[in-house]
Amino acid sequence: MSTYRVGYIIGSLSRKSINRTLAKALIRLAPEELEFVEIGIGDLPLYNHDFDLDYPPEGRALKDAIASVDAILFVTPEYNRSIPGALKNAIDWASRPWGSNSFTHKPSAVIGASPGKIGTAVAQQSLRSVLSFCNSPQMNAPEGYIQFSPEVFTEEGEVLDDTTARFLRDFMDEFAVHIARVCTVLSAQR
C-alpha cells in the first residue's frame, strides 16, 4: 500500500474557523496511508496578472507547497453563496502563470462546514466549477455538506457523534481510493 501526501487548504483565514476544526477531525479519521500538511493561504497578496513575469515569494511558496503533495483537500466555508475571496485568490495564484497550473492532474476533494443546514453546498459547487477549469480530478462522491455543531466536534477535532464520525471516516477512505486511482492512472500515462 502506497502512502500519499495530502495538502489541505482551509478556505477561512480565521484561526478559530469551524472548518479548521473539521480539518482536524478529517485528519484524525483518515486512513493511515494519508499524510497531511496544511497549505496556508493567508499571506498571499491579491493576485494580479502583472506578477506573472516575476512571482513574489508567497506565490512561489504556494506553488511549491502544492507541487510537494500528491493531492489537495479543500475544507471551506461558504461566504455569500460562494467560496471565500482568500481561497479564490490562492487558486488564482496557483493556477498561474499560463501554462504552469499547479492543479493540473492533482486529485482533489471538497468538503465544508457551516452552522446552517445546507452546510456549504453552494460554495462547494462554486469551488468544483473552478477546480474543473483547473483540470483537477475531483472526488465527486460522497459529498460532504456538514452542519457544524459544538456538541458534535471538539476544538481538537474529536467527533463525538458516531454517525458523523462514520460519515467522515468513509469520506476520507473514499478520498484515499480516489487519490490512489488518479495517481496510478496519471503516472501510467506519463
Helix (H, G, I), strand (E, B) or coil at 37: strand
Three-state secondary-structure class, residue 132: helix
Cα 36 to Cα 29: distance, rounded to the nearest angstrom:
12
Higher-pLDDT residue of 11 and 188 is 11
pLDDT above 50 (res 190): no
pLDDT tens-digit map of 61-71: 999 999 999 99
Which candidate, 69, 77, 61, 146, places its Cα nearest to that of 108?
Answer: 69
- Domain range for 143: 4-188
Total domains, the chain? 1
Residue 186: per-residue pLDDT: 81
- Full-prediction pTM beyond 0.85? yes
CA dihedral 11, 104, 66, 59 (to 10 degrees): -80
CATH code assigned at 172: 3.40.50.360
Distance between CA atoms of residues 72 and 70, nearest Å: 7
pLDDT at 1: 67
